[in-house]
Structure 1
Amino acid sequence: MVAAGTSLPELITSIVAATKKNSDIAIGNVIGSNIFNILLILSISGVVNPIAYNSKFNLDFFILIGGTLFLIVAMFTGKRKKLDRWEAAILVLFYLLYTGYLIINEL
């Protein structure tokens, strides 16, 4: 819930920027947010309460790497050097499938 609540303003900002043809703002917003969350929020959380590594995180780690590699390849290939709609649709579909997978495994 907290992650969704803190990400919604960034999502809205990215959508507005993309509709105004300012894709650099949308991409910078996503990358900047991820860097901030990983480097500051995770490190402060680890200082307050040490985080034990669990081997269940391995699947999440590989999915993160795969998604990042797909995004890099998708953005820097092709004539326009932009993320096409069908590539974005694949990312959204995979996100929904993975979220569903996580929910089913928690039940």
Structure 2
Amino acid sequence: MLTEDELLRDYRYQRSNLEEQEDELYRGEQSVNELIEQTSSEINRMLEDLGGDPSEATQFARYRLNQVTQEMNESFDFEKRQIQNKIEDTEVTFNQQLRQLHEEG
């Protein structure tokens, strides 16, 4: 049977790993958002360089960028929820094990 210190150590280790995953996900999300902004700016510059009436191309480019942005945001939101669920599961498991340890002790 694990001791309270061992349970706490394991919980902190799992929680730390999950929080690190959450931080990596956040950094990835920021990188993707920056890339989308850069791409949007580059497309706008290219369309301006073409001259004439690029409104249809501009609308299509903005539409596609909005689609990609929405898809990426949905993906990141899903992953964030997954990590949050794991954090909550880890807390519940820790509390159950701690309660069981105290009941047996």
Q: Where on the TM-score scale, by shorter chain, does this alignment land: which range?
A: 0.3 to 0.5
Q: Please give the TM-score of this superposition, normalised by the length of structure 2.
A: 0.40
Greater helix content: 2
- Greater radius of gyration (CA): 2
Higher RCO (CA-CA < 8 Å; seq separation 6+): 2
Q: Please give the TM-score of this superposition, normalised by the length of structure 1.
A: 0.40
